């Protein structure tokens, strides 16, 4: 819910709140890293989960660097969000193929399509430099956060019941 709210605010924010929102993004990254580390502690210690732990540490360090060095992290922030979407797309396709499809869930292909869309969004953010200004960067990241949060909700609907069965 925090990512959804932050994504909406980032898309509609006026320019004079840009640096405050970038700081908020840094704090949200640190919170997300803590949540991902706690999730790792409760999960199986597989290669994918170990990579997600590494990603969580990177997100936490990025969030901390955004808070500390918020004036010079614009380009790094855009590239990081592109890479984050690519990695989440890879994780989602793995979950769709390794958990949802073998469980016989209908619509597993929908998760696979969303995974490809996340991956493509990450590549698009990496290849196109939309963030000429901090305001444009915030709009792109806001849209990415909204899309990522929506995919996360759909993923939860598909995957969560499998672990309880």
Residue-level pLDDT, tens digit, the chain, 165 residues: 666 776 777 677 656 667 777 788 788 889 989 998 988 888 888 887 888 889 889 889 988 888 887 666 667 777 778 888 898 899 888 888 887 788 777 778 888 898 999 999 889 888 876 666 777 777 787 888 888 888 888 877 776 655 545
User: In sequence order, what are the residues at sequence separation of 6 or more whose Cβ sits closer than 8 angstroms to the Cβ of residue 106?
Assistant: none
Taking the whole predicted model, whether its pTM rises above 0.75 is answered as no
Q: Which of 85, 70, 89 is nearest to 25 (CA)?
A: 70
DSSP letter assigned to residue 129: -
The single residue listed with the structure tokens 């990603």 is 55
Cα angle, residue 97 at apex, residues 94 and 103 outer, rounded to 5°: 125
Is the torsion defined by CA of 77, 140, 134, 68 positive or negative? negative
pLDDT at position 57 = 92
**pLDDT at position 136, please?**
77
pLDDT (0 to 100) of residue 72: 67
């Amino acid at each position: 819910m925090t990512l959804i709210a932050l994504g909406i605010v980032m898309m509609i924010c006026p320019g004079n709140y840009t640096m405050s929102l970038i700081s908020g993004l840094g704090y949200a990254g640190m919170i997300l890293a803590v949540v991902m580390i706690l999730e790792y502690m409760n999960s199986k210690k597989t290669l994918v989960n170990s990579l997600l732990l590494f990603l969580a540490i990177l997100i936490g360090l990025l969030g901390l660097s955004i808070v500390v060095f918020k004036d010079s992290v614009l380009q790094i922030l855009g590239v990081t969000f592109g890479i984050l979407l690519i990695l989440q797309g890879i994780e989602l396709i793995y979950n769709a193929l390794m958990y949802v499809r073998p469980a016989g869930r209908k619509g597993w292909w929908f998760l696979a399509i969303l995974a490809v869309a996340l991956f493509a969004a990450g590549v698009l953010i990496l290849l196109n430099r939309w963030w000429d200004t901090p305001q444009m960067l915030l709009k792109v990241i806001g849209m990415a956060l909204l899309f990522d949060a929506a995919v996360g909700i759909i993923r939860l609907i598909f995957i969560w019941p499998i672990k309880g069965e």
